[in-house]
Amino acid sequence: MAAATPEYVFMYPDDRLDPAHQNPAYQGEVDLQDTRMTDGTLVFTFKQMNHTFEGKYECYVFQNGYKILIGTINLKAVEVQEQKAVLGEPVRLIYRCDINNTSGIKLTKPNLNQSEYVFMYRDNRSDPAHQNPAYQGKVDLQDRRMTDGTLVFTF
């Protein structure tokens, strides 16, 4: 009988990656950004997203011998949309999402430092603490209640 395929997308026991328990389809494809988890946030990055990675993901932490579910995300791959903007004119970035009761929104750009972002909204207000200085005072989120599932960022 063949050995079972490992069930984990990413496993990080004792402060190191454990590829023996990682499903081969994800080896070299998934990374944990801040391995120290300094602010309590787990950020996983898929290096090259494709439709193979679509589906439900559950994140567990292991504490004192217990496996604790801390979050579930249903991931769907979408095609990148190109949007042109006129220099000096306002531009709107529009995203559709099916997420209800979200606790926060983070708009980022790949070339920013891990701790920086373009715009962050949480606890019912914008959070400029680690916003990249180039975007401070220049980005806003319209309809902060996101009543119809649309996120509109205006630059």
Residue-wise pLDDT for 1-28, tens only, equals 344 556 788 788 878 888 888 888 888 8
pTM over 0.75, yes/no? no
For 100-109, how does the pLDDT look when each residue is reduced to its tens digit (9 = 90+)? 556 678 888 8
Judge whether 87 lies within some domain: no
Judge whether 1 lies within some domain: no
Judge whether 7 lies within some domain: no
Together in a domain, 70 and 97: no
Judge whether 99 lies within some domain: yes
Judge whether 6 lies within some domain: no
Give the pLDDT band of residue 99 (cuts 50, 70, 90): low
Together in a domain, 99 and 58: no
The answer to whether residue 148 scores a pLDDT higher than 70 is: no
Query: How is residue 155 written in tokens?
Result: 């630059």
Residue 3 confidence (pLDDT): 47
For 33-84, how does the pLDDT look when each residue is reduced to its tens digit (9 = 90+)? 777 777 677 777 777 777 777 888 888 888 888 888 887 887 777 777 777 8
Judge whether 103 lies within some domain: yes
Query: CB–CB of 138/155 below 8 Å?
Result: yes
Q: How many domains does the chain have?
A: 2
For residue 147, the enclosing domain spans 92-154
Together in a domain, 71 and 112: no
Residue 21 confidence (pLDDT): 85
Residue 153 makes CB contacts below 8 A (sequence gap 6+) with 92, 93, 94, 95, 107, 118, 119, 139, 140, 141, 142
Judge whether 21 lies within some domain: yes
